[in-house]
A and B are shown apart, each in its own frame.
Chain A
């Protein structure tokens, strides 16, 4: 089985930087994915780390350290539209399992 742990909520002001950590315990680990979900919407894919290191996609970056069973999502230059829930997810033999999600609240 797998478990993925992430903080429940993070609050920051517009323009700030937020880091959402995800620690995992899993067998058959392939990599770590991140998804964004706005209220009332469906999750959408943000990034994937199959190897250790940093992946950058615009204002968002994701990092993975397999030796530490740890990853994070970095949101830079926060905008109001970034207020959403963010989930880490790990695939295992065809299945994807998700963390409980981190609610990011961006204030003016």
Chain B
């Protein structure tokens, strides 16, 4: 199994550009998450989804959008990129989301907005 796959691994954007970070998982997990991690900091929840067609905001949703049309895929869209969005982005999934199931993380996307 591949687990959680994120693409791209690195990206440089200019201010005002848009892009989509791709995330797919092959574990048939219902719960999927997007986090951002600034240098030396913890993980901040951007958006999460409890199943196909259902998404909700986390702690820091401004400037981002998500969709969940299938169980496998959970893309994160950045519109009008800003320097404050320079960060490492992690996608994760879990089976139940109640804590008894562990989070499986993708390898991350390092994004720089210049």
Contact = CB atoms under 8 A, between A and B. Distances in A.
Given A30-B99, A101-B42, 19 more contacts: A33-B99, A35-B103, A41-B108, A42-B106, A42-B107, A42-B108, A43-B105, A44-B105, A45-B102, A45-B103, A91-B98, A91-B99, A95-B33, A95-B45, A95-B58, A95-B97, A98-B35, A98-B42, A100-B41
Contacts of A24: none
Nearest to A97: B45
A87 interface: yes
5 contacts: A43-B103, A95-B48, A95-B58, A96-B45, A100-B42
A94 interface: yes
Interface residues of B, number: 25
Interface string B32-56: 0101000001110100101000000
Contacts, number: 64
Contacts of A32: 99
B100 A87 contact: no
Nearest to A100: B42
Interface range on chain A: under 10, 10 to 19, 20 to 34, or 35 or more? 20 to 34
Interface in B9-67: 31, 33, 35, 41-43, 45, 48, 50, 58-59
Contact of A91 (B97, B106, B108): B97
A42 B88 CA distance: 10
Nearest to A29: B99
A96 B42 CA distance: 12
B90 interface: yes
Interface string B69-111: 0000000000000000000001010100111101111111000
B98 A87 contact: no
Nearest to B105: A42
A87 to B, nearest CB: 6
Residue among A32, A97, A99 with max Cβ neighbours from chain B (10 Å): A97
